[in-house]
Amino acid sequence: MEKNIGTVDKALRIVVGLVLISLVFIGPQTAWGWIGVPVILIALFGWCPLYKVLGVSTCSKCKTAE
């Protein structure tokens, strides 16, 4: 898997993932907050399947390698 997520994108995904997971424990307390888990995992791996399908990459190091 070639990384296609840049540093800023990765940080934003982690923050959004943590906010979503926090919704499980505070706020509406619905199971929808668990959507944050795959968001964080995608950020940690640095590879987004949707980006792959769309041919998008926010990783500047990866763009120069092509």
Q: For 27-49, write each residue's pLDDT tens digit.
A: 888 888 999 999 999 999 999 99
- Rounded distance between C-alpha atoms, residue 9 and residue 31, angstroms: 25
Per domain, the residue ranges of the chain are 7-65
Q: Mean pLDDT throughout 51-58? A: 93
Measured in degrees and rounded to the nearest 5, phi and psi for residue 28 equal -70, -15
Q: Say yes or no to pLDDT of 65 above 50.
A: no
Question: What pLDDT does 63 receive?
Answer: 63
Residue 62 has pLDDT above 80, yes or no: no
What's the rounded Cα separation, in Å, for the pair 42 and 48?
A: 6
What angle in degrees, to the nearest 10, is found between the helix axes of 7-25 and 36-45? 160
pLDDT of 58 above 60: yes
Q: Six-digit token pair at 50?
A: 């949707």
